[in-house]
Amino acid sequence: MIQIKNLTVELASATKEIYILRDISLSLSKGEILGIAGESGSGKTVLSKTLMGLIQYPLQKTAGKIVIKDNTHSQLSELKQYRGQFFSMIFQNPTASLNPVFSIGQQLTETLKAHNPNLDKNSAIAEALKLLKEVEIDHPEDRMNSYPHHLSGGMNQRIMIALALATNPEVIIADEPTTALDVTIQAQVIDLLLKLNKEKDISIIFISHDLSLLESVCNNIIILYAGEIMEKIHSQNLKTEKIKHPYTFALKSCIPGINDSKDFLYSIPGTIKLNTEDDNNSCIFSDRCRYATQICKQVKPALNSHCNYRCHHPL
């Protein structure tokens, strides 16, 4: 349904080439849940915004194509037509994403009317109530008159999902949708997204730094590092013995086990670096990788249709 081909996004204002996304290729099928994982600053949000045509100066697409339902787009401005119609997006902080001065009912009915201008007021209210029931909001009639600050973070995230559904999208991009919620509410929101995926066959791009969450929710997972895909992996292969890329392995090792003592908590040494023209001929992870050899600093490992990991010395 979606294909991203060799997408590169650079920082236009820089004196040298700085890559925020570099040579990204991936695809999303109908009904698939695709995870995008990576440390903070790896480019997860820029990738999702680029897909919706939402990046602005100083970010600039310098290469690549986006194919949506067999239509190829080289210009990001062409992607506007899909926003709301084909894609909807939900964000990390639902309470900040909702408009504080309009009631939940107003926000839902306005979104429904924007999508379908022929909808009369009563039908819009009926549709809004239906959406609130779909996202399992209790007492939906009462909630129509509530404002975002009256509701908990978990309820507001359900409202965000209802708003995302108002336009009948085929793909929902969820950027850290549960990071701001506590664990029990997190599980409810995830269950809701899974239900929508199953019942409505909505594809989901699920962005998170939480690899264990993605492992339990997604079909396939893209591991991003400094704007490059390190590995594309089926979630069932995210087992220690099946991981090929040292970065994926390191990320997986950072997930604390319930019995881990604090002395054994693992963290990846060093910090994520900027991806620049100086890295044209090296593995971008080489300064942090314990398996790095000379070739890793001389030849950028390839990722292509034959090889789902970018590494000279796969595990």
Ligand X SMILES: Nc1ncnc2c1ncn2[C@@H]1O[C@H](COP(=O)(O)OP(=O)(O)OP(=O)(O)O)[C@@H](O)[C@H]1O
Q: Figure out which of the listed residues 161, 171, 268, 289 binds ligand SF4, where binding follows CB under 6 A.
A: 289
Query: Could you tell me the smallest distance in angstroms from the CB atom of residue 38 to ligand X?
Result: 5
Q: In 168-227, which ranges are E strands?
A: 171-175, 203-208, 220-225
As a whole number of angstroms, the distance between CA 308 and CA 222 comes to 10
Tokens 């820089």, residue located:
14
Can residue 301 be called a binding residue for ligand SF4 (CB under 6 A)? Answer: yes
- Please, how many CA atoms are within 13 Å of residue 254, restricted to the half-sphere of its CB? 15
- Distance between CA atoms of residues 182 and 179, nearest Å: 8
Q: Which does 59 bind (CB under 5 to 8 A by kind): ligand SF4, ligand X, Mg ion, none?
A: ligand X
- Assess 291 for contact with ligand SF4 (CB under 6 A): yes
CA distance 230 to 284: 9
Sheet holding 171-175, edge to edge: 87-90, 171-175, 203-208, 33-37, 220-225, 228-234
Residue 35 CB neighbour total at 10 angstroms: 25
Q: 10 or 32: whose CB is closer to ligand X?
A: 10
Interface segment toward ligand SF4; rule CB under 6 A; list 68-76, 202-210, 212-220, 278-286: 278-286
**Contact residue for ligand SF4 among 218, 228, 246, 275 (CB under 6 A):** 246
* Residue 48 interacting partner from ligand SF4, ligand X, Mg ion, none (CB closer than 5 to 8 Å by kind): none
73 sits near ligand SF4 (criterion: CB under 6 A): no
Under the criterion CB under 6 A, does residue 112 sit at the interface with ligand SF4? Answer: no
CB of 56 to ligand SF4, least distance (A): 32
Work out whether 45 is an interface residue with Mg ion (CB under 5 A): yes
Torsion angles phi and psi, residue 133, rounded to 5: -70, -40
Q: Does 226 bind ligand SF4 (CB under 6 A)?
A: no
| Interface with ligand X (CB under 6 A) | 11, 20, 38, 40-46, 58-59, 209
